[in-house]
Structure 1
Amino acid sequence: MARMTMIEAIRNAHDLAMGADDTVVVFGEDVGYFGGVFRCTAGLQKKYGPSRCFDAPINESGIVGAAIGMTAYGLKPVVEIQFADYVYPAYDQIVSEAARMRHRSAGQFTCPMVIRMPTGGGIFGGQTHSQSPEALFTHVAGLKVVVPSNPRDAKGLLLAAIEDPDPVIFLEPKRLYNGPFNGHHDQPVAPWKSHPLGEVDEGYFTVPLGKAEIRREGSAVTVLAYGTMVYVAEAAAEEAGIDAEIIDLRTLLPLDIDTIAASVKKTGRCVIVHEATKTSGFGAELSAQVQEACFYHLEAPVTRVAGWDTPYPHAQEWAYFPGPERLKRALLAVMEG
C-alpha cells in the first residue's frame, strides 16, 4: 500500500495500463511533454515515448474523433479533455459515434476508449473551468459514466474503464485531486491540507464499474452522493447527529440501483446531493428511480440538494456549492417527514 493523492493514483493507473498493454495510448492537450495541466500524465511520454503519449491541438472534436478511429484499428485510447467545460465541441462525436459504435455495427466494432475530464469547481476557475456536466452523458445510451471520490477508487475505476470494451466518461473532481476533502468550506483554496492521503495498492487492480460503495452505514436516512459531495455528506451527517447511511455511487451509468434500493427500503428516507445544477441534474433521475423502486417504503419525499439553477457564479463559488449546512437542513427536514 502507498499513500497517494488522486493525481498520483490516476498517473499510476495510466502507467500500469500502458505497461501491461501496448495498445493503450494517451493523448490530449498538453498531456505529453508537460504532463497535463494537473500533472496526471507526468512522465508517461518520457517512459513510453511520443507515439504512446502525445500532445494534441486545441481541438476537442478532433481529439475524440481521432480516438474513435483508433479504436476501430485495435487501439485503446485514453484521452484527456483539459476541463470538462471544454467537451462540448466533441459532444456530437461522443453521442453520435462513440456511444453508438457497437450497435450501429451490429457488434462488429466496439469503442474501447476513455475520456477523462476534470470536473466541478473549487479552484476559482470561473464559469468555463468549473462545470459539472455529468447529466449530459448519463442520458446517452451506450456510454458508461464514472465519478471517483478517492484515490483508490480513481485508480481502480480508471483501470476498469480502460479494460472496458465500450466508451467510458471518466469525471475527476478537481477539489479532490490533491487529497481528501473534509466537506467544509472554511478553507476554500486547499481544504485538504491537513488531511491524510488515500491508501492505494501499488499493484494492478480494478474497481468494478456499476457498483456503488456504502461509505457510512446507518438506519435513519439514505444519502446518495458522488465525487466531492461524499465528503459534504459525511460532514453534514456528523453535524446533524443523524444516523445516515451514505452511498458513494462511483458509477452513475450503469447505476447500482440494487444497493440504493436496499438502503432506502431499510431507512425509509432518501436525500440526494450533487454539485451540478438542480433542474434536470442527475439527482432527478436518482429521485425517479428511488421512487419507482421504493415507493411503499418511503416515509418522506425524496429530497435533492444541489447547485443553483444559474450560470456558474464565479464570485459566489463557495455559496453555490451544496455544503454541510444546506445538506444538514435537508436531512433534518426529511427526518421530520
Structure 2
Amino acid sequence: MEENLNKHSKISAADLSRLSKEADQEATPSSAKIIWGEFKADKPAFIALFIVVGFILFVMIASLFINTPKIMETNIMNYNAAPGTSGFALGADSAGRPIFQQLIVGARNSIGIAIGLTIISSIFGICWGLISGYFNGYIDWGMQRVYDFMMMLPMTMMIIVIVTIIKNYNAVTLTLIFSVFYWEGTSRLIRSRTLSESEKDYVAASKTSGTGSFKIIFKEIMPNISSLIIVDTTLSFAENIGVETGLSYLGFGLPIQTPSLGTLIANANDPNNITQYWWTWLPAALLIIVLCLSISYIGQVIRRAADSSQRQGTED
C-alpha cells in the first residue's frame, strides 16, 4: 500500500513538473520578448536598431578622447582642406577646423540634448496627462486651460527670446528651456488614453476596495498604457534631435564655439560651401537623415509590437 502511494506521489510530481513547463511555454510572453521578436522578424528594423545604438555608443565614447577647445581653434593654413588631405578624414571648414571631430562632438551634443529633452518632457507630460485624465472634472478643466495657454505660445519664438536674454548658457540650460515647451503633445496623448482607461472595471474595482488615487494612476493605469508611452517616447526622441538641430542652424541653439549638427549644417548658408566645399555640411545632413529615419523605423516596429493584429514576429 505504501509503495503504491509513493509511486503515485512520484508520478504526480512528474506530471506537475511537466505541466508547469508547458504552462511556462504557453504563458503570455513579456513585452520585451514581443518587441525583440518583432525586430528579429523585420531585418531592416534590426539594422536600424544596430545603427542607432552603435552610433550613440561610438560618439559618446569617442568624444571623450577629443579636446573640444583644441579642435575649435582657428587655423587658416587649413582653410577648407579637402577630405583626406593634411590628415583631415572629412576635411576642414573655412576656419581650418576638422569636420570629423566636430561631427563626433556635435552628434554627442545634439543626441545628449535630445535624450535629456525626451526624458524630462516625457516624464512631465505623462504625469500631467495621467493626473488630468484620471481626476477629470474641475482638476482636468484647470489643467487643460494651462495646456491651452502653453499651446497658444509660439514655441520657437519664445525659445529664441529666452536664449537671447540669457547671456551664458550651455547644453543643460538649453535642454531645460526646451523642456518647458515640448511636453504638450505627450500630455494630450496620455490624457485621452487615461480618460478611457479610467472608465474600465479594474479601476472601479480598485476604487471600491479603497486603493489610493495615485496608486491606481501609477501602478495600474500607467502599466496598462506602457506600450503607448514607449512608442510616443521613441518617436519624440527622433523629433527632439531635429528641435536642437533646427535652432542651432538658425543660430539660437548651442553657443557658436560648441559643435552641434545644426551648426555644421549651417555651413550650407554659404553658396560656395554648397557647390565647392560640400564636406563642410553634407556629412552632418546625411547623419541626421539616417538617424531620424532609423529611429522612426524603430518606433514603427514598437508600435506594431503593441498591436497584436499587426505583429510579424512569433514567440517561442
TM-score, length-scaled by structure 2: 0.21
TM-score, length-scaled by structure 1: 0.20
- The structure in which a higher percent of residues are strand is 1
- The structure in which a higher percent of residues are helix is 2
Larger-gyration structure (1/2): 2
